[in-house]
Chains A and B, each alone.
Chain A
Amino acid sequence: MKITLDADKCCAAGQCVLIAPEVFDQRDEDGIVVLLDDAPPAEQHEAVREAAAICPAAVIEIHA
């Protein structure tokens, strides 16, 4: 799994951080998403997919 972000679209709802805190974080200055791991291990995949599905601004893109 490879993840890319379109952080310009991020509205800092923070749901990805709640769902997959080992993969996503928020920038201290404005809460915008930060990728901690762009190729997370298999045990994180389900949470990452869930984060991408829930993200209100469709920021998270998953490449198989």
Chain B
Amino acid sequence: MSEMSETTLSAAPAPLPVQPPPGCPFEPPAEFAALRTAEPISRISLPDGGWAWLATRYADIRAIFGDTRFSSDTTIPGYPLGGMTGGHTTDHRGFIRRDPPEHTRLRRMVTREFMVKRVEALRPEIQRLTDELCDAMEQAHGREDGAIDLVEALALPVPSLVISLLLGVPYDDHDIFQRLTGKLLSRTIPDDERETARGELRGYLHQLVSSKEAEPGDDILGRLIVEQQRTGEITHDDVVAFAALLLIAGHETTANMIGLSALTLMRDPESADRLRRDPGLIRGAVEELLRFHSIIRNGPRRVATTDVEIDGHLIRAGEGVVVAVPSANRDETVFPDADRLDVRRPNAQHHVAFGYGIHQCLGQALARVELQVVIGTLLRRFPTMRPAVPDEEIPFRTDMAIYGCHALPVTW
């Protein structure tokens, strides 16, 4: 290696920090705390050889999310695509990768589906599904008298069943879309493999949407076909993009929050007891768990469409920004004693785990209800549940854009 290229290498900024400190799977990467103090807007290198700004402070992150001069449009030159999961190509992109007015037009076609009262009406059904899965866990545990994988038995099926039901996607196909989603959200597989998975998922959903066009059901995709596609507002490809976005967003995120939350409460009997004694605290505890775990670990990302100053720092038009959500949610200036899980933290709901600004999570009301129901039920029905393996044997998802556990063997 020539001296020249060595110099270039050493001058290149570090990549996005993703590894929790050794032995501390619930801590965000240690680099974030140092960056918040020393260099809150810093540079990172991207896997494609490019670079982007990295924002680590809560106030800056809210400012960036809340400012539409920072674009979500992946086709704008300078958008930081390098290392982005979910697929590289910018065609057939869903509304989260668009700006107003197109973003607003498309998002508003589905906002009513996830509004608070619609989701609250689903609570009894979510409770019923959860109880059935818990019954099955009890039976399997009695039969096998061994460890149960909580991810496979409960954390994945609840959100997966619910989003399949809402969208009108056959749950029997869940092994297909879970396998493909796993690849789409992997940080470690090669880009071409991820693109192949994206193509496969689109192929599956293309067929599904085609069959629903012939016979639209009383579900989100059916309503999009009848009310938006047949009136010429959107195309078949747009319906497929909606389906892909809602399917991926609807099950991986909540599933990982369930697994991590269950594990932290098993390791924190004082908080678990408090929640068992006073189930009224569960709503607030879910906000704190969302803050504490901040599972979105590979963005979100934006590109500046004009020169913008953030906290005295100039970000030029065409420069990319990566937002470190886990860092914002551990910012001591907003959340005192931020590294401690406090289920009664008064301002926990100020977290940005769902993002902030016009792109803030569309399914947040659904995620909240699912988490409240599942966590409450686990605490009530399995008070002695504990990990069946030592921490170091739990496979944490440091390889994925969404953090969590690949598997969580438990017993009781």
Which of A's residues lie within 8 Å of B, judged by CB?
9, 11-15, 17-19, 26-32, 50, 53-54, 56-58
Closest beta carbon of chain A to B282's beta carbon, Å: 14
Main secondary structure of the interface of A (DSSP, over half): loop
Interface membership of B360, Cβ < 8 A: yes
Whole-angstrom CA separation of A31 from B349 in the bound complex: 21
CA distance A27 to B111 in the complex (A): 10
Is A17's CB under 8 angstroms from B116's CB? yes
Partner of A28, one of B112, B357, B360: B112
Query: Per-residue 0/1 for B248-292: is the Cβ within 8 Å of any A Cβ (1 yes, 0 no)?
Result: 000000000000000000000000000000000000000000000
B103 to chain A, nearest CB (A): 9
Chain A residues near B338 (CB-CB < 8 A): none
- Chain B hits for A17, CB < 8 A: 115-117
Which residue from B115, B349, B358 sits with its C-beta under 8 Å from A14?
Answer: B115
B349: chain A residues within 8 A (beta carbon): 15, 19, 50, 54
Identify A26's interface contact among B104, B115, B357, B362, CB under 8 A: B115
B114 touches A (CB below 8 Å): yes
Chain B, residue nearest A29 (CB): B112
A-B contacts, 7 of them at CB < 8 A, read: A11-B357, A13-B360, A14-B116, A28-B112, A31-B108, A31-B114, A56-B65
A57–B115 alpha-carbon span in the complex (Å): 16
Please determine whether B115 and A12 come into contact, CB atoms closer than 8 angstroms. Answer: yes
**Which residue of chain A has its CB nearest to the CB of B119?**
A14
Tell which of B111, B355, B368 touches A12, judged by Cβ atoms closer than 8 Å: B111
- A56 CA to B357 CA in the complex, in Å? 4
Chain B residues within 8 Å of A30, by CB: 108, 111-112
A26 with B356: CB separation less than 8 A: no
Known contacts A12-B108, A14-B365, A18-B365; A56 and B115 CB within 8 A of each other: no
- Additional A-B contact list (5), CB under 8 Å, known A11-B104, A11-B358, A56-B360: A12-B114, A12-B115, A13-B362, A17-B116, A31-B108
Measured between C-beta atoms, what is the minimum distance from B222 to chain A in Å?
A: 17
Minimum CB distance partner of B368 in chain A: A18
